[in-house]
Amino acid sequence: MRLRCRIEAGETLGGSTRRVWLHPLLAEGWHYAAGQYLKVDLPELGGAYFSIASAPGQAELELHVDARSAKALRLVELAERRETVDVVLPLGDCCLRESPAQPLLLVAGGSGFAQCQSLLLRLAELDCRQPLVLLWSADEAYLASRRPLLERLARRLDLSAQTLPREAGMDAEAWLAAGLRGARARHPSARIMVCGSKALLETVLRHVPEERVLSDMLPAVAERQAMV
């Protein structure tokens, strides 16, 4: 669905990550599932894709924009001027429409946490009782900005969050591999949802079987979406 939105800049969440709000001009008739993403049509630059950080049913769409690419910088410029943009949604099959029947492990890198935020907010609404594990590496300031939210969610969900500040200088893959081993030892039936770059997905697949992994970047999923 194509949706016209007024775009508004929010605060810096840490490092290069900025919160951006989309206010749909159409009050009803649009929808998405937790974990899905959208496309923003940018003048002269084409489409830019962003995970939705808000939970389904909210009146506004929240994005976490890593403002380092040309398209992301352009989006922030439009948001600061409170202009209107065309948005296409919903996109993506890696999402949740109901509470999972097994434990869920969320792996995020940087602003890929936006997808996790939407998922966790929705799972709290669904009163999910399955164990949930979050492994997330990002700038320390971004981690700190989301920590109060994660603490609130942990009081409502069986949620264990492990974070790695990028400034720590640790081997990120070794940290992730250890986190995956520990989580899978505690929850052998867990599905693993990767929220981030293709490089992050490739890292995860070096340590766990592909059949346990959920991601819109897996070849079979990407091919199915290309046919739509």
pLDDT(223) > 50:
no
Give how many domains the chain has, as a whole number: 2
Distance CA 158, CA 104 (A): 11
Average pLDDT over residues 60-69: 95
pLDDT(188) > 90:
yes
Distance CA 136, CA 128 (A): 21
Average pLDDT over residues 196-211: 96
Same domain? For 14 and 124 the reply is no
Same domain? For 83 and 116 the reply is no
Helix 140-156 / helix 113-125 crossing angle, nearest 10 deg? 10
Quick check: is 99 in a domain?
no
- Predicted pLDDT at 33: 97
Same domain? For 83 and 122 the reply is no
pLDDT(99) > 50:
yes
- Predicted pLDDT at 221: 44
Same domain? For 108 and 21 the reply is no
Q: Of the candidates 120, 117, 144, which has an alpha carbon nearest to the alpha carbon of residue 12?
A: 144
Quick check: is 46 in a domain?
yes
CATH code (residue 56): 2.40.30.10
- Predicted pLDDT at 156: 97
Tell me which residue range forms the domain holding 57: 2-91
Quick check: is 14 in a domain?
yes
- Copy the structure tokens of residue 5: 């939105």
Same domain? For 162 and 139 the reply is yes
pLDDT(225) > 50:
no
pLDDT(55) > 50:
yes
Quick check: is 98 in a domain?
no
Quick check: is 126 in a domain?
yes
Average pLDDT over residues 200-210: 96
Quick check: is 75 in a domain?
yes
DSSP state of 55: P
Same domain? For 111 and 217 the reply is yes
Same domain? For 162 and 54 the reply is no
- Side-by-side strand order, sheet with 37-42: 46-51, 37-42, 84-91, 2-14, 17-24, 61-66
- Copy the structure tokens of residue 155: 């009081």
CATH code (residue 196): 3.40.50.80
Query: Model confidence over 117-166: pLDDT tens digits?
Result: 999 999 999 999 999 999 999 999 999 999 999 999 999 999 999 999 99
Same domain? For 117 and 185 the reply is yes
On the 0-12 / 13-18 / 19+ scale of CB atoms within 10 A, 78 is: buried
Same domain? For 44 and 75 the reply is yes
Sequence-distant (6+) residues with CB within 8 A of 103 are 130, 131, 132, 133, 187, 189, 190, 191
Average pLDDT over residues 58-76: 95
Query: Model confidence over 77-94: pLDDT tens digits?
Result: 999 999 999 999 999 999
Q: Give the percent of the chain with pLDDT over 90.
A: 90
- Predicted pLDDT at 27: 82
